[in-house]
A and B are shown apart, each in its own frame.
Chain A
Amino acid sequence: MLSVKHVNKSYKKGGLFTRERQQVLSNISFDWQQGECLGIIGESGSGKSTLGQLLLGINEPDQGRILWDGKRVKDRKTRLGNISAVFQDYTSSINPFYTVEQALMEPLMLHKKMRQAHQGNIDQLLHQVGLDSSYRQKYAHELSGGEAQRVCIARAVSTEPRCIVLDEAISSLDGSVQIQILELLKNLKTMYSMGYIFITHDIRAAAYICDRVMILRNGHIVEIVNVEQLKDVQSPYARHLLQMVIT
C-alpha cells in the first residue's frame, strides 16, 4: 500500500539569482490500495507528472512523506520489485543500443533472485504483451510507437511489481492502438493482480480503466471519486472538466 501524506513540492523559478519558487504541489494526501487502478487527471501544468515522479522516488518532496508499506519510497530497496514505470515518450524510454531482449533483461539483472528464473521467460513476456519472439533481436528504432510502448510495458511487468506508474503512457498513440494497450493493461492487471497509477489528461481513457479518479488542479486535489460516481462530481471545476470532453 502506498500512502502519501501532506506532500508539498516547489521548483525554482527561472532567473539565476531569484529566490522565488513556484509551488507545484501543495498538501497532497491520498492512499493507494493494493490492486487498485487510480487515475490522476489534470490539465497540463497541474503537477500530475511531478506527482508521478515523487511516487517513483526519482524526485523528492519538499515536505511530507510518501510511504510504501510504511517504508520511505525514496529508498531504492523499498521500490525494488514493487514499483515500476511506463512513460509517455516511448522513443527515449529504451536504450537505443539495446535490443528488445537486452532492454527486457535490464531490470531482471538487478533482481538477484530473478536472474536465473527469468532467463527463459523473455518469450513469455513478449507474448503477454502481444508480440512474438522475433522481436527479441530488434532495436528500439525498428519498432512502431505501439510496439515500443508494449516493450516498455513488458519491461515494467517483468519484475512482477505490485504497482506500475503510467505517466501519459497512451497519450501519444493512435486511437486504435490506445484501445489495444488499454485492453492489454486490463488483462495484465488480472493476470498479475497488480495495480496502476494512471496519469493522464484523457478523461475517457481514465474512465475506461480506472477504479478511482483523482482530479488535480494547480497542485491541489480537487476531488477523489470512484469511477461509477464520476457523473456525480461535486466541485465546479470537475464538472467543467467533464463537460469539455468531446464525444
Chain B
Amino acid sequence: MNSLEVSNLKIWDSRTGKVLVPHSSFHVKQRSCLAIVGESGSGKSLTCRAIMRLNKALLHQSGEILLQGVNLTKLSEKEMRKKRGKQLCMIVQNGMRAFDPSCVVGVHLKETLAWHYGWGRDDITVKMKRAMESVMLKDPLAIMNSYPHQLSGGMLQRVMIALAIVLEPDVVIADEPTTALDTITQFEVIEQFIQLRTRMNCAMIFVSHDLAVVKRIADEMLVMKDGAIVERGATRDIFSAAQHEYTRFLVSTGLTLDHHFNKIMGGVSHAEC
C-alpha cells in the first residue's frame, strides 16, 4: 500500500515564472524508505517542502499529493496544520534552527504534543522520557530543561527523532538530517533512523547527498538533477547498474572516497563490525 503518492508535482516561481521542478511523480510504500539523491540546487528540499506545503508564498505548486488517500493540496491551511506533525513529520538539517531558541526544548515538545493529542503535562513527560531513552539520550529530563544552544547538533537531531517516535506519523521526511553532524554522531543518528523504521509502521523519505548513508538506509531511491527525476529504482540496482549517465557519475565520485578508505583499512568493511 502506498503511504504517500505524489503525481505531476510542478513548482514554479511566481515572480519570474521560472519552473524549478517541472514534472515529478513518485510514491512511497508503507514501511519502506525512499531516498532522494542529488546535488545542491537539484530541487530535493523543494520537493520535501512542497509535500509539507511549507514553501515560500512566492513559490507556487500544482499536482496531487495523496497521503493515505487524502489529497493534501485541497486541504485548507487549518486542516493542513493538523496533518503536519501528526501524520507528516519533518526532520530538518539544522537542529539548532528547528527549535525556538528562547525557550527550553521541553516547551516545544509539550506544545507540539498538546496540540496534536491534547495530552497533559505528566503524560507527555513520561512518553517523551521513554522515547528519548530509546534514542540513546541520557538524562532526558535535563535535556528537556535545557535551551537548544546548550545541546549539541546530534543531541537535538535525536530529540527530533524522539518526538517523531511519540507522534507516530505515517510519513517521516528527513531533509539532510546528518549533513551537519560529525562522523560519530552521524553514525549514531543513522542507527536511530534505521531503528525508527523497524519500530514503527511509517514510511520514510530520506534526502541526502551522502551516498554511503543512502546505501545503508534506503530501499528505493530517486536521483534528481535540475529539478527533474533522472533515475529511480531499488537502491541495490542503482548502485550496481545505474542506467543514467548522471547517476553513474554520482555513484562513481561518491564511492571514490570509500574505496580509497577501504583500501587503506585493508579492504575490511568496518561499518558492519
Contact = CB atoms under 8 A, between A and B. Distances in A.
A146 to B, nearest CB: 9
Contacts of A242: 265, 270
A145 B250 contact: no
Given A174-B209, A230-B264, A246-B213, A44 B185 contact: yes
Given A44-B152, A242-B265, A245-B183, A175 B254 contact: yes
A44 B96 CA distance: 14
A179 B261 contact: no
A158 B253 CA distance: 28
A205 B271 CA distance: 16
Given A205-B257, A241-B183, A44 B212 contact: no
B115 interface: no
B62 interface: no
A176 B184 contact: no
Contacts, number: 93
Given A179-B253, A247-B269, A203 B183 contact: yes
Contacts of B102: none
Contact of A204 (B182, B190, B249, B261): B261
A204 B209 CA distance: 15
A75 interface: no
Nearest to B42: A174
A49 to B, nearest CB: 12
Main secondary structure of the interface of A (DSSP, over half): helix
A178 to B, nearest CB: 8
Contacts of A227: 264
Given A45-B152, A144-B41, A231 B184 contact: no
B39 A247 contact: no
Interface in B208-251: 209-213, 216, 249-250
Contact of A245 (B41, B253, B261, B266): B261
Interface string B166-198: 000000000000010111111100100000000
B260 interface: yes
B205 to A, nearest CB: 19
A157 B270 CA distance: 36
Interface string A8-49: 000000000000000000000000000000000011110000
A245 B40 contact: no
Given A201-B182, A202-B183, A231-B266, A243 B273 contact: yes
Interface size class on chain B is: 35 or more
Contact of A207 (B182, B186, B210, B264): B264
A176 B40 CA distance: 10
Contact of B39 (A174, A179, A201): A174
B261 A145 contact: no
A231 B264 contact: yes
B183 A201 contact: yes
Contact of B190 (A177, A230, A246): A246
B201 interface: no
A203 B40 contact: no
B85 interface: no
B256 interface: yes
B2 interface: no
A228 B211 CA distance: 25
A179 B253 CA distance: 7
A20 B256 CA distance: 46
Interface in A197-212: 201-205, 207-208
A208 B263 CA distance: 10
A244 interface: yes
A203 B258 CA distance: 10
A206 B40 CA distance: 23
Contacts of B210: 175, 246
9 contacts: A172-B179, A175-B210, A179-B256, A208-B260, A227-B264, A230-B264, A243-B270, A245-B271, A247-B258
Given A244-B184, A245-B183, A246-B187, 5 more contacts: A174-B39, A176-B249, A204-B258, A204-B260, A230-B264
